A and B are shown apart, each in its own frame.
Chain A
Amino acid sequence: GAGVSQSPSNKVTEKGKDVELRCDPISGHTALYWYRQSLGQGLEFLIYFQGNSAPDKSGLPSDRFSAERTGGSVSTLTIQRTQQEDSAVYLCASSDAGLNEKLFFGSGTQLSVL
């Protein structure tokens, strides 16, 4: 596709359930990011993949959060045993490698944990 695609666009789940969020980056982009944005707040960095390097997981808030990127393309963010404080918009972005390369963002997944 022409842009970064995220699915689902909305996810409602019950506390304690696991959820998987998917991101399809722009073809050829080597960098992929996941951010979390609570209502009216800034973008909280979660995890960063760059090519074949080990991902930078320094932003993951707890061991309930994990992400993988298969074949250098599609990425899945998994949240286990969801809590109400996990409710937020989860944004994925991709870019070419390089200092001046801007990020292209997906439309996000709105996660609501009841």
Chain B
Amino acid sequence: AQKITQTQPGMFVQEKEAVTLDCTYDTSDQSYGLFWYKQPSSGEMIFLIYQGSYDEQNATEGRYSLNFQKARKSANLVISASQLGDSAMYFCAMKGGGYNKLIFGAGTRLAVHP
């Protein structure tokens, strides 16, 4: 069975600093994908970044990067130069194999302070 764990219910960071949101996963699949989504207070789900299990490089998308440590089964999201608009819920998610469902972690609420 697949499982996603986000152990930080809440985090805060000062504006312009970097922050790391933790995510660990468990799967028996050799091929899987890892996703991060942002959910601001408006409720919409915004895709941030994707990492495939066979990707050798850590994924990056602008200020977002994914610190992928396959042996540790961790896929932490790093947000550089935090902005006030980054305040939101952040969800880690995983899809195993080619046609398995996407499951989500419990989420981390990030607050960016000026």
Contact = CB atoms under 8 A, between A and B. Distances in A.
Given A41-B106, A43-B91, A102 B50 contact: yes
A100 B33 contact: yes
Classify the secondary structure of A's interface with B: loop
Interface string B72-113: 000000000000000000010001011101111111000000
B77 to A, nearest CB: 15
Contacts of A21: none
Given A33-B102, A41-B106, A99 B43 contact: no
A43 B99 contact: no
Interface stretch (A68-76, A78-86, A90-98): A90-98
Contacts of A99: 31-33, 52, 95, 97-98
A59 B52 CA distance: 25
A65 interface: no
A108 interface: yes
Nearest to B109: A40
A94 to B, nearest CB: 11
B12 interface: no
A33 B103 CA distance: 10
Contact of B101 (A56, A91, A98): A56
A7 interface: no
A102 B31 contact: no
Contacts of B33: 99-100
A103 B104 contact: no
Contacts of A45: 101-104
Contacts of B98: 97-99
A107 B43 contact: yes
Interface of B: 31-33, 35, 43-45, 47, 50, 52, 91, 95, 97-99, 101-107
